[in-house]
Amino acid sequence: MAKRIFLLTVAINFLFGIPSVLACTNFIVTKAASSDKSVMITYAADSHTRYGAIAFYPAADHKTGDMCEVYHYENGKLLGKIPEVAHTYSVVQFMNEYQVAIGETTFGGLDSLGRQPGAILDYGSLMKIGLQRSKTAREMIKVITGLIEEFGYASSGESFSISDANEAWIMELIGKGKYEKGAVWVARLIPDGFVSGHANHARITTFPFQKSNNWENPNQTVYHSMDVISFAKKNGFYKGSDESFSFSDVYNPLDFGGARFCDARVWSFFRKINKEIRENADYTKYALGQFAYNQYLMDGSKNPNGFVSNRLPLWVKPDSPVTRQEVMAAMRDHYEDTPLDMRNDLGAGPFKSPYRWRPMEFVVDSVMYLNERAVATQQTGYSFVAQSRNWLPDPVGGIFWFGVDDADGCVYAPMFCGVNEIPKSYTIGNGSMITWSETSAYWTFSQVNNWAYSRYNLIHPEIEKYQQQLEKQFATEIEIVDIQASELFKENQSSAREYVTSYSVFTGNKLVSDWKTFYQYLFMKYIDGNVKNSEGQKLLDNGNGRNIPKAPSQPGYGKEWEAIMIQGTKDRLKVPLE
């Protein structure tokens, strides 16, 4: 009976828990922490049902009485309507024309706070509407929290990365459920020179409590709902002192999955750029889901509530300035060269795959096991690196580097935040998760990625080489576009917008066309377990001019996997001696 109950619990977790809470990864890089002094945030929209495309909302003027329809970000359901403002700014997916950008990860949190009757605004609509109404990151926080207070919050707990050309913030909020309208929340400014991140678990612990939110004070580095602590105490979620209150530990209590499936992704990024995280065994244990409950936390402060004491810090200072290429590489991470590296166990198969098909947990002989949840994952709909640069005019300074499908095999295409339109290959409506389109970016990149999954260690190195070549090319081109667009901006802002639009549209569409040709090359080269001879991306013939290839190589499964294959087969595969 106990075994049956255990297996039933596992099934329930599969159906109602894991898919809804283990998606999305965000990294945050402040101005002084980046090599070119830009502010960067990242976002991976991970969902088995999410299609990779760019929503574009042009700037617009509205009349008194106009209403904004609010649609659920995930299922498309109309949630309701709210009044429009007089003017809304243009938005490219999750970055607006003023270089304000936002990303999110869902942490869920306390079950009793996950649903709010009558609420209109879910997290996705808040992101879109907030961008349409904000010129800075601070204003974005004010707009979002004000909308929630007025119209309620229709999602579970969320962490947000919010940035502009000068600052980057992390904001975490959770609704008040059936108890009250609205949400409790905390927002913290990431200190300049530091990096942060979040991945489906709340990360803000203790914080300096403020008497009020002074939105006009540039020196205020913390904002929060005034009842963020009192609400928890009133409803029995917390009984300690105000000074030791931890938003994360109270509203999203830490468990094994919160560390291993979620915060481990942040740890993997931190350890690449910070020596202390890399060398401190306590942080490694935390990422593995091995908790300590010491009297003092890692920063030396007291731990009167007995919370997990070896948690990751909210932010770290990188050993050296972080480049955009390093940030993009972080979005392509599978725990390589860490204790969680997936390339070397039997699940990797003969071709060293760093991927594991879902579900994330499975049971063998009544024991539950896991598949690692890395940053780069097969179910990503799209990801981006939003880069804001304060030395350029806003429509030119913001670049929305956008990629579709698995980030490991995407190419981040540059979309300037001041564009008037987006490439057709990336538009919403050009294909869907259940509709094929030959011209869509998503299906083009998905074809290449899924082909690579079949023999990862052979095919993916070619993808990575071409990926780096194209992204380096874009970076070189942008140096020229920046200069020309900035000069145009001084004379005519509309002309500057048209110029960056032309570049973004041409580049995006050409990328998809080139990648489609690349897929055709890869498919022909690696078909049927063979590897044809090639130079660059051209397949070679046998020298007779009749389009007959040279004899292909046949690498097979490799010696290591061949030895594994004969285990347990006795003599069935043995070839007898003559």
**Domain-located, residue 124:** yes
Please state, in angstroms and rounded to a whole number, the distance separating the CA atoms of residues 23 and 46.
Answer: 5
- pLDDT score of 167 more than 80: yes
Mean pLDDT of 258-276: 98
pLDDT at 578: 80
pLDDT-based confidence at residue 22 (cuts at 50, 70, 90): low
**Domain-located, residue 494:** no
- pLDDT score of 21 more than 70: no
pLDDT at 23: 78
- Residue percentage of the chain with pLDDT more than 90: 94
Last residue of a domain, one of 337, 370, 403: 370
pLDDT at 8: 35
Please state, in angstroms and rounded to a whole number, the distance separating the CA atoms of residues 128 and 260.
Answer: 31
Mean pLDDT of 156-174: 98
**Domain-located, residue 496:** no
Residue 386 · residue 98 · CB < 8 Å: no
**Could you tell me which residues come within 8 angstroms of residue 32 by beta carbon, excluding any fewer than 6 positions away?**
192, 193
pLDDT at 568: 87
pLDDT at 253: 98
Q: Which of 274, 255, 369 is nearest to 21 (CA)?
A: 255
- Helix 493-526 to helix 441-454 angle (10° resolution) is 30
The 3-state secondary structure of 38-98, one letter per residue: CEEEEEEEECCCCCCCECEECCEECCCCCEEEEECCCCCCEEEEEECCCEECCEECCEECC
Q: Which of 207, 106, 94 is nearest to 159 (CA)?
A: 106
- pLDDT score of 538 more than 80: yes
Domain encompassing residue 534: 530-578
**Domain-located, residue 474:** no
- pLDDT score of 516 more than 60: yes
Which residue do the tokens 């574009």 mark? 56
Tokens of 500: 């960056």
Tokens of 272: 């690449």
- pLDDT score of 10 more than 60: no
Domain count, the chain: 2
pTM: 0.95
Q: pLDDT tens for residues 80-120?
A: 999 999 999 999 999 999 999 999 999 999 999 999 999 99
- pLDDT score of 28 more than 50: yes
**Domain-located, residue 522:** no
Last residue of a domain, one of 370, 391, 419: 370
**Domain-located, residue 430:** no
Last residue of a domain, one of 349, 370, 391: 370
Average pLDDT, the chain: 95
Cα four-point dihedral sign 89, 93, 94, 96: negative
**Domain-located, residue 524:** no
Mean pLDDT of 410-433: 98
pLDDT at 15: 34
pLDDT at 14: 35
**Domain-located, residue 517:** no
pLDDT-based confidence at residue 6 (cuts at 50, 70, 90): very low
Please state, in angstroms and rounded to a whole number, the distance separating the CA atoms of residues 306 and 293.
Answer: 6
- pLDDT score of 512 more than 50: yes
Mean pLDDT of 237-251: 97
